[in-house]
Structure 1
């Protein structure tokens, strides 16, 4: 079990960061936590995000089991996206990454209040009940 198990764990971590590190992936996941469900909503929530990149990222997230795509009306092209259980479990990873970034960016004593407020806001956004 030892080495093979560790290799599989490291590979899973690497695979997870492989799709999380792509531009726009985390804002899209954050949008899903904020009940953004459709293509138009993602584009409105993320100025600068192109339809092409959004389509690519949603497809990648679906392929990785993070997002479920539900076609409500195929003739009208009405589709919604939802986080899977696996996708919802990413909240802790994203939260800790943001904590790390906040601690790096807001280092001064004057920033303590802003850092804590930002962390609390993110906890709420990511639906963390801790």
Structure 2
């Protein structure tokens, strides 16, 4: 009887260990505190209407080559390419032929796709 109890405890322990191992498989390893990000991803700001939000940090090269958007979703007519800095997809640009172009809220605008690519932006997939 004593052996059966030990065997049962052992199998329960193995089962719990297996569950813990499987549960941790989907988690990303923690980043080291010594690593530094390649570039800042977002800067907190207060909008003119008093609401707070985030505005993506625009790379220095893009600031030199691009211009500021005119409105929330519009670029100047001489710079119609919308540049968007995203955390997941990286720095991407949208042309007038892109799906949902009118809804895209640009962080910066470019005169053409070549200039956007020089600034480090790429076409969306």
Specify if TM > 0.5: no
TM-score interval (norm. to shorter) = under 0.3
- The structure with more strand, counted as a fraction of residues: 2
**TM-score normalised according to structure 1 size:** 0.24
**TM-score normalised according to structure 2 size:** 0.24
